[in-house]
Amino acid sequence: MNEYQHKIGPSAIEAELKALMLSSQDGNAAAHQRLLKRLSRHLRAYYKGKLGRVGRGAQEAEDLVQEAVLAIHIQRHTYDPEEPLTPWVHAIARYKLIDFLRRTRASVADVPIDEANEVTAHDDHLGVESSFDVGKLLSRLPEKMQCAIQAVKIDGLSVAEAALKCGISESGVKVGVHRGLKALAKLIAQGTKT
C-alpha cells in the first residue's frame, strides 16, 4: 500500500472511485477520464503482481490494463450505483485475466485470483492520460486493425470468426489486435484529444 492509500484507507478509495463512476455515468467527461486514469494505475499494479507469479512481463500486464479499461469504458452503463464499485471492477479485471491465461495456455491455478479489494489495494503510478473515447480512438487506427479489435475485444468473437468477418488471416487478426492495442495505449498515454 502506498503512502496515499495508507493515509486515506480502502473505504475512502472505494468512495472516491465510486463518486467518479457516478459522475461519469451522469456524463461528466472529466470525471470519467479521472476514473479511468485512477483505475489504470490500480489495474496495472494488480496485473503486474498476478502475471509476475507466472513469469509474465510488464507488457502483457499493460495489454491487460488496456483491455480492462476498454471494457470498463464500454460497460460503465451496467454498473449499479447501489452496489460498491470495487467488486464490479474486480469482476472485469478477473475475467480479462482468466481470458488471457486461457489464450496463453498458462495455468489459472498458478495465479491466485483473490478478493475484489485486491484490485484497489495497490496503485501503479505510471498513470495513463486519455480522453478514452473508444470509437474515436479506434477510428485513428487502420481499418483492418479496427475490425480485428472490434471483433475480438469488443464483440467477443474468436480469432477465426474475426478473420472471416474482417477478411484477413487468423495471424493477421492476432497481429492486428496486438499492434492495435499498443497503438491505442500510445494514443491514450499521449492524452490525445479525439
Q: Is residue 83 domain-shared with residue 47, that is, in the same domain?
A: yes
In the 8-state DSSP scheme, what is residue 141? S
Give the alpha-carbon dihedral of 143, 144, 146, 151, to 10 degrees. 140
Residues 24-61: b if buried by 16+ CB within 10 A, e if exposed: beeeeeebbbbbbbbbbbbbbbbbbebbeeeebeeebb
One domain for residues 117 and 24: yes
Q: What is the mean pLDDT of residues 150-171?
A: 86
pTM: 0.56
Mean pLDDT, to the nearest integer, of 132-136? Answer: 62
Residues 115, 57 share a domain: yes
Boundary-marking domain end, from 76, 99, 127: 127
Distance CA 156, CA 47 (A): 21
- Same domain for 109 and 145? no
> What's the half-sphere exposure (Cβ side, CA atoms, 13 Å) at 96?
28
In a domain, 2, yes or no: no
pLDDT in tens, 55-72: 777 788 888 898 898 888
* Domain of residue 96, residue span: 11-127
In a domain, 1, yes or no: no
How does pLDDT run across 24-40, given as a tens digit for each residue? 888 888 888 899 889 99
Q: Using the predicted structure, report yes or no on whether residue 186 has a pLDDT greater than 90.
A: no
- The pLDDT, as a whole number, for residue 113 is 52
- Confirm whether 99 is domain-assigned: yes
CATH no. for residue 115? Answer: 1.10.1740.10
Residue 166 banded pLDDT, cuts 50, 70, 90: very high
Q: How many residues does the chain have?
A: 194
- Asked whether residue 156 falls in the same domain as residue 171, the answer is yes
Together in a domain, 61 and 113: yes
Q: How many domains does the chain have?
A: 2
5 belongs to a structural domain: no
Locus of grid cell 461528466: 28
Distance CA 132, CA 125 (A): 18
Using the predicted structure, report yes or no on whether residue 163 has a pLDDT greater than 90: yes
- Domain C-terminal end among 80, 109, 127: 127
- What lies within 8 Å, CB to CB, of 51 at 6+ separation is 57, 60, 61, 64, 111
At residue 189's C-alpha, the angle toward residues 130 and 152, to 5°, is: 80
Do 108 and 71 sit in the same domain of this protein?
Answer: yes
Residue that finishes a domain, picked among 69, 103, 127:
127
